[in-house]
Structure 1
Amino acid sequence: MNSSLHTNTKVRMIIVYSLTLAVLTGGCRTEDKPQQKNPETEQPADIQTTEIFALQKGRLTSSLQIPGELMAFQQVDLYAKENSFVKKLYADVGSEVKEGQLLVTMEAPELGSQLAGASSNIQSREAIYTASKASYDRLLATSQTPGTVSPIDLEQAAARKSSDFSQLQAARDAYQQIAEMQKYLQIKAPFSGVITARNVNPGAYVGPSGKGSELPLFTLKEQKKLRLVISVPEAYTSYLHTNNEVSFTVKALPDQQFTARVKRLAGAIDNRLHAQRIEMDVVNNDKKLLPGMVAEVSLPLPAADSTFIVPKSAVVNTAENIFVIRVADHKAEWVTVKPGREEHGNIEIYGRLNQGDLLLKTATEEIRNGSELKNVGKIAE
């Protein structure tokens, strides 16, 4: 019985060993088989092509966003011409006034005394002149009889009359001057506008700037017509001309767009800003815009002449040079250019180029000058 069990165990071990050897042998044969290539899954290497385009001229119309300031078309600080006291005010901050409207009256007792003295002086000079004229007239009538009046006496009487008349005229002029000074005790609006500042009250002592008043009595600004003032950088001054229309917005009314026309150009570049001052007139009858507002101005910059226009990707900008790559006999040629304005992915260029030259649409510094271009694609439209 034990002998039989031992025999069966040996048989089972031989069978297991045989099966294991067969599996291992089959696995090794499978690994030894060469792998077959599938032509359908094999992909060819990528071949990059260089896209080119023919250089053409065109007109690039762009715009420039620049801040501006709205100012009153007319504005003035009103001071008292004579030292005086404020008697009555007829306007206040925010008052809309018309041209010639009375704003303030003042009083100066010294002027009243001076005017009364000048009037008395006129009366005195008139009496003196009347007497000297009467004396001369009598001598002249008497001189008609020969030998009655000396010619020298007649000449002296005539000279006295002329002198007295001159002094009478001087007295009248002095009186008129004081009377004119009294008119300055009433200040009227020089133009229609709005009072934006008031710095005095009734009874205040006022006078010319620095001699009685450090601040003006009133500040008057025109509101129905404004100036839009901007400083245009030197590079863009050639694009703007008189009567060009511009558009602008203000922060207080972001959903509204306003227009204005260029009216005045400074004609010179500011040394500090390197920009030209340009003014535009803005009609403001509805008074929506206020003097002092900051505006965001959009300036149209139409090209006066056609220039070479290329995609921005065609221009290489390095620290040493700015260039495009021209294709000449399948070789790369660096051509130095000067860039101009940019708009919608295009840029103006200036350089030694000719219309119809073939340029790389996407240029890089890695394409060296003089290198051969093997994979040149079709000309881009």
Structure 2
Amino acid sequence: MKAINHKHLFIAGSLILGALTISSCNSSEGNTAEKPAAAVVAVHPTEVFPLERGQLSTSLQVPGELTAYQSVDLYAKENSYVRKLYADIGSEVKEGQLIASLDAPELNSRLAAAASRLKSQEALYTASNALYKRLYETSKTPGTISPNDLEQAEARRDADLAQLEAAKASYKEVAIVKDYLEIRAPFPGVVTARNVSTGTYVGPNGKTALPLFTVQQQKHLRLSVSIPEAYTGFIEKQHEVKFSVKALPGRIYTAAIKRQAGALDDRLRSERVEMDVINDDKKLLPGMIAEVKIPFPGKDSTFIVPKSSVVNSPERIFVIRIEAGKAVWVDVQKGREADNKVEIFGNLQPGDQLVKTASEEIRNGSDVKNTKTVPAVKQ
């Protein structure tokens, strides 16, 4: 009886397992039938725009330096002592104004000796010239004066005249040197340095190597900037620029370009440009650093495109033109850049369809069928 029960249990389990297997198969088939088809990935069209000409206005902001329009260090030409000072640091002086007087006793002796020699030569020339004239008048009577005596008198007169001219030159030289004992301002300006005091020994052999005074013209300044090579073609004289200095926040100054170096600096590869600045209130000081903004308005009509349309690869710079559904890489050169726009130069024509967002993934010669035209770049 016990064996029979085991048999029945085995048969019943087999039937249940079979039923579960059939149910599982039916469920799997139903799921397969109901599974939706795979989604199709949408391909976005390539944005292109028609190439147009325009003018690009840019600006350049560079540091500049303010310097005195004229600046000079004044030295003593002759060994001497400072006798009196008539100006100090901050003194405003006029052209030709006496600012220091020097004393050189040896120079006074040289001047007195030169004056004595001059008077002596004047006397000798006066005597020899008078003798020659008397002999000449006498020689008009035949047989009174031999030709040799007349020639000797003439030669003596000429020699004394030469000595007189030499004495005059010597006296003038010493007198000119004495004028150097008066130190005068060469132009109107401000004394910005004084390195001596009364009694200081000065001159080529003096103990101080510093100048007596430094005078700078401050009501008229120079503003100097270095323009990078890429921008030198846009610089012109009378071109106005604006600048500011940190010492005077909120104030904007205007100056016009007056001078250009006409050559590039070997080290910086830039051109030195100078502007004149009128500084009547003397708020601007020589040596100040200025922030200079130089506008470069557009002149010639050029092709202007978004920066995103220009590809800068290690080998080349190019844009992608769409021709008959194919991508064509066109080599270009870049010009000025501003506001996400750039000038380009190359084998291009107005109306060419260029890819707005270009990359090397769009291979040269590849098919580009799905395109979308977008407005041209705003000028």
TM-score past 0.5 threshold: yes
Unaligned runs of at least 5 residues, structure 1: 1-27
Note closer, same or farther for the CA distance 1:329–1:134 as it changes in structure 2 (3 Å cut): closer
Equivalent residue for 1:20?
A: none
Percent identical among aligned pairs is 57
1:275 aligns with 2:281: no
Q: Is the 8 A contact 1:83 1:212 kept in 2?
A: no
Q: Is the 8 A contact 1:247 1:298 kept in 2?
A: yes
Equivalent residue for 1:6?
A: none
- 109, 118, 125: which one pairs with 1:122? 118
Equivalent residue for 1:153?
A: 149
Q: Which moved more, 1:318-327 or 1:189-198?
A: 318-327
1:188-337 matches, within 5 Å, as 188-208=184-204, 213-337=208-332
1:101 aligns with 2:97: yes
> Once the 2 structures are TM-superposed, how far is the Cα of residue 336 of structure 1 from its aligned partner?
1.9
> Once the 2 structures are TM-superposed, how far is the Cα of residue 135 of structure 1 from its aligned partner?
3.2
1:160-175 matches, within 5 Å, as 160-175=156-171
> Once the 2 structures are TM-superposed, how far is the Cα of residue 46 of structure 1 from its aligned partner?
4.0
Q: Is the 8 A contact 1:51 1:380 kept in 2?
A: no
Equivalent residue pairs, number: 353
Q: Is the 8 A contact 1:307 1:349 kept in 2?
A: yes
> Once the 2 structures are TM-superposed, how far is the Cα of residue 370 of structure 1 from its aligned partner?
2.1
Note closer, same or farther for the CA distance 1:320–1:165 as it changes in structure 2 (3 Å cut): closer
TM-score using structure 2 length: 0.85
Q: Which moved more, 1:154-163 or 1:139-148?
A: 139-148
For residue 194 of structure 1, give the secondary structure of its aligned residue in structure 2: strand
1:378 aligns with 2:378: no
What letter matches 1:309 in structure 2?
I
> Once the 2 structures are TM-superposed, how far is the Cα of residue 265 of structure 1 from its aligned partner?
1.1
Cα distance between partner residues in 2 of 1:331 and 1:74: 65
Cα distance between partner residues in 2 of 1:133 and 1:328: 104
Unaligned runs of at least 5 residues, structure 2: 1-23
Alignment deviations for residues 256-304 of structure 1 (CA, whole Å, 9 cap, x no partner): 1111111111111222221111111111112121111111111112233
TM-score using structure 1 length: 0.85
Q: Which moved more, 1:133-142 or 1:258-267?
A: 133-142
> Once the 2 structures are TM-superposed, how far is the Cα of residue 313 of structure 1 from its aligned partner?
1.2
User: What RMSD over aligned residues (CA atoms) do the two structures have, in Å?
Assistant: 2.8
For residue 266 of structure 1, give the secondary structure of its aligned residue in structure 2: strand
For residue 252 of structure 2, give the secondary structure of its aligned residue in structure 1: strand
Note closer, same or farther for the CA distance 1:306–1:138 as it changes in structure 2 (3 Å cut): closer
For residue 256 of structure 1, give the secondary structure of its aligned residue in structure 2: coil
For residue 262 of structure 2, give the secondary structure of its aligned residue in structure 1: coil
For residue 255 of structure 1, give the secondary structure of its aligned residue in structure 2: coil
> Once the 2 structures are TM-superposed, how far is the Cα of residue 47 of structure 1 from its aligned partner?
4.0
Note closer, same or farther for the CA distance 1:130–1:323 as it changes in structure 2 (3 Å cut): closer
Equivalent residue for 1:72?
A: 68
Cα distance between partner residues in 2 of 1:156 and 1:277: 68
Cα distance between partner residues in 2 of 1:143 and 1:311: 104
> Once the 2 structures are TM-superposed, how far is the Cα of residue 379 of structure 1 from its aligned partner?
3.4
